[in-house]
Amino acid sequence: MLHPDRVLMGPGPGNPYPEVIEAFGRPVIGHLDPDFICLLDETNERLRQVFQTSNPLTFPVSATGSAGMEATFVNVLGPDDVVVVGVNGVFGERMCDVASRCGADVIRVDAEWGAAIEPQALLDAHPSPKVIAVVHAETSTGVRNDIAPIGLGKGDALLLVDCVTSLGGIPLEIDRWGIDLAYSGTQKCLGVPPGLSPVTVSPAAISGFVDKPQSWYLDFSMIANYVTGGGTRAYHHTAPISMIYALHAGLGVVLEEGLSNVQARHQECGDRLQEGLVQRGFELFAQEGHRLPELTSALVPSNRLPAGVSEADVRRQLLSDYGIEIGGGLGPVAGQVWRIGCMGHTARQRNVTLLLGALDEILI
Amino acid sequence: MLHPDRVLMGPGPGNPYPEVIEAFGRPVIGHLDPDFICLLDETNERLRQVFQTSNPLTFPVSATGSAGMEATFVNVLGPDDVVVVGVNGVFGERMCDVASRCGADVIRVDAEWGAAIEPQALLDAHPSPKVIAVVHAETSTGVRNDIAPIGLGKGDALLLVDCVTSLGGIPLEIDRWGIDLAYSGTQKCLGVPPGLSPVTVSPAAISGFVDKPQSWYLDFSMIANYVTGGGTRAYHHTAPISMIYALHAGLGVVLEEGLSNVQARHQECGDRLQEGLVQRGFELFAQEGHRLPELTSALVPSNRLPAGVSEADVRRQLLSDYGIEIGGGLGPVAGQVWRIGCMGHTARQRNVTLLLGALDEILI
């Protein structure tokens, strides 16, 4: 089987840091081995630093980002609990689906694809919701939703935030912004392959846990007996050892470079990419002032496509001729928008230069 | 951080095959990349061979074995559906917990820890259950439950089997035995680190799917649009790319050696280990005729422990002085039983020789 490498400039995964792939080579040890518990504790402490939180219950869920979404919802929502959900893309939609499967009463607050959610609209949607849920960085549109104002006005509600594409890439302060539950993914701005979902849970959210969540695998109260606490750790499920090695290493790279430096690197790449695209006749899709640097969405200028060539053809050519992956649009903007990521180890100027150069060779 | 290697002779993870760790070094590519889809298809085809099935819906769930359990239950059980569950250890108990969280009507058929479940008792427990569920290889006791007679007598019920510790280690024939839903883990007899749960689902089970399972992440109907089918694959969640490389490689090792040869290697190691333990005054815990070769449970002879030394002390000494991990007992046999695995790459004569030698040095 042909197995070339790629410059991963889609909506995720990005390229992992070389140190992360090295970490996969570590000998596997048991999930109850004291040395592994030590490494897990260190991983969780690194996650706290990257999440900017002191929440004791901070750990990687043993599955990908969407399982982190499900985990945060099922632990605090039971039948008829009210949840307000901001929807301006695929992942807000997914939140509604997940919440409705908990039997919750879902109140949607929609914004157009490409636009940001008005924080006040979320706060006004219901007088006393149990949960207000919103996506920080919408991977389907490249839009950043404001979180801090929701935390300020949330009252007794729990604030649940999707940080899959934001963690590590743009400023995010769990404690200062009043976020109660957050989940992320490893394959975006942390520079680790997909496979885990870092989560963090505030004491207030723990007080709001439902009695016996419908998911056994994602039951935070049971998992807490393994991932936190002192000398004795109760077996819940077998931890994905090698993926935790990888996450541990990726977080190490981020913290060694410095979280704000890593964010600045993402910002600089995004700025250059967006500038370069505009110069080439692309129209940026995300609302100004809410554009993610790590994930750029842009309307493909049809007048720059060679005759008889679709935007999908260009993406295929980028992949086959240059080994560059970029993403197409989803939902209402499928076939019109490209989504270009600069995340993790991909967030290097040279990759922006390469992609723009390749486009100059392909487009007319 | 000290990070020594281990001889993993606990109840799992076992040591991974070297080829598996090598596979982690492969460049990460995207989950919609045609080359990745090709590798995923090949992985699923290898799984079919190891499961001995032609089920099209055969793939690795993107989480560990316990998520495979939850996945198989939530897709076929809704409120008030009747499920008969065989319980003779931790994993049968877990099945009851998971099924009850689906709102199902759970009918337990208990057997003593260490004994096997009577197939006829499962068949007699209810006239028309939707599902009969049982563990093939009980990791908590080292007992093998007979499956084929249940398949023969199941009538219209769906047969759901936990194959976490059996797949690759002992004979298992999904189609011939009439198993409708099975899940496994990667970290046992497949010689891959923990992180994925291979599952296989029969056409009859698909016909029995509930309408909208309570888990979005584990919704087989949605996942099927990504993992099976032809040229177009609908994104559901981001596949754990590197773990799938590892599983692909582990299955390659198993199939190249030959499934029956791998099983024979597990059998030979188990036989030698059990013989060696009996010679040293241990009493085997699992019922005769139902002893797993890949996971041996034995009562620790207290008269062979040095003065003031507990069984847990001996396990700690094995870990610290020899780098050998073995497992303690769970539940009612905690503190009395050891669980010793010879799974995957661990299933080598030299590891049995090493462990018995170490015990000869420690015990009196």
Q: How confident is the model at residue B231, as a pLDDT?
A: 66
Asked if residue B177 lies in contact with residue B156, where contact means CB atoms within 8 angstroms, the answer is no
Helix or strand or coil: residue B88? coil
Residue of B nearest to A79 (CA): B214
Average of per-residue pLDDT values in chain B:
96
pLDDT for res A1: 43
Structure tokens at B144: 């093998």
pLDDT tens figures, A158-179: 999 999 999 999 999 999 999 9
Going from the C-alpha of B195 to that of each of A148, B223, B350, the distances in angstroms are 35, 17, 27
Assigned CATH for B19-257: 3.40.640.10
pLDDT at residue B1 greater than cutoff 50: no
Cβ(A265)–Cβ(A259) below 8 Å: no
According to the model, what pLDDT value does residue B232 have?
Answer: 76
CA distances from B353 to A188, B177, B272, B320 (A): 46, 35, 9, 18
> Could you report the per-residue pLDDT of A297-322, keeping only the tens digit for each?
999 999 999 999 999 999 999 999 99
Same fold, B7-12+259-362 and B19-257: no
SS3 category, A264: helix
User: Average pLDDT for residues B80-91, to the nearest whole number?
Assistant: 98
According to CATH, the topology of domain A18-257 is Aspartate Aminotransferase; domain 2 (3.40.640)
Contact B239, B40 (CB under 8 A): yes
User: How large is the average pLDDT for residues B138-149?
Assistant: 98
* Distance between A21 CA and the closest CA of chain B, angstroms: 6
Continuous segment of H or E residues that includes residue B159: strand B158-162
Residue A233 is predicted with a pLDDT of 85
Optimal mutation site among A95, A215, A317, A339, interface B, most CBs of chain B within 10 A: A215
- Report ipTM (2 d.p.): 0.97
Could you say which of 3.90.1150.10, 3.10.580.10, 3.30.450.40, 3.30.70.260 is the CATH number of the domain covering A7-12+259-362?
3.90.1150.10
Distance CA B276, CA B245 (A): 37
pLDDT tens per residue, range B20-36? 999 999 999 999 999 99
Strand partners, A49: none
Mutate which: B215, B219, B340, vs A, most A CBs within 10 A:
B215
Which H or E run contains B284?
strand B283-284
Q: What is the mean pLDDT of residues B249-255?
A: 98
Q: What is the pLDDT of residues A76-93, one digit of tens each?
A: 999 999 999 999 999 999
What percentage of chain B has pLDDT greater than the value 90? 96
Higher pLDDT, B232 or A71: A71
The pLDDT of residue B228 is 86
> What is the average pLDDT value for chain A, to the nearest integer?
97
Q: What is each CA distance from A254 to A20, A60, A118, A194, in whole angstroms?
A: 11, 16, 31, 17
Q: What is the mean pLDDT of residues B164-172?
A: 98
Going from N- to C-terminal start, the domains of chain B cover 7-12+259-362, 19-257
Residue B281 reports pLDDT greater than 80: yes
Q: Please report, rounded to a whole number, the percentage of residues in chain B having pLDDT higher than 70.
A: 98
pLDDT surpasses 80 at B315: yes
The rounded distance, in Å, linking the Cα atoms of A296 and A164 is 15
Report the residue from B12, B213, B236 with minimal CB separation from A238.
B12
Phi and psi dihedrals of A31, rounded to 5? Answer: -75, -10
Give the separation between CA B245 and CA A168, rounded to whole angstroms: 26
Which chain B residue has its CA at the smallest distance from A319's CA? Answer: B33
How many CB pairs below 8 Å do chains A and B form together? 200
Closest-CA distance, A273 to chain B, in angstroms, reads 21
> pTM for this one?
0.98
Which chain A positions have a beta carbon within 8 Å of B215's beta carbon? 70, 101, 214-215
Mean pLDDT of B302-324: 96
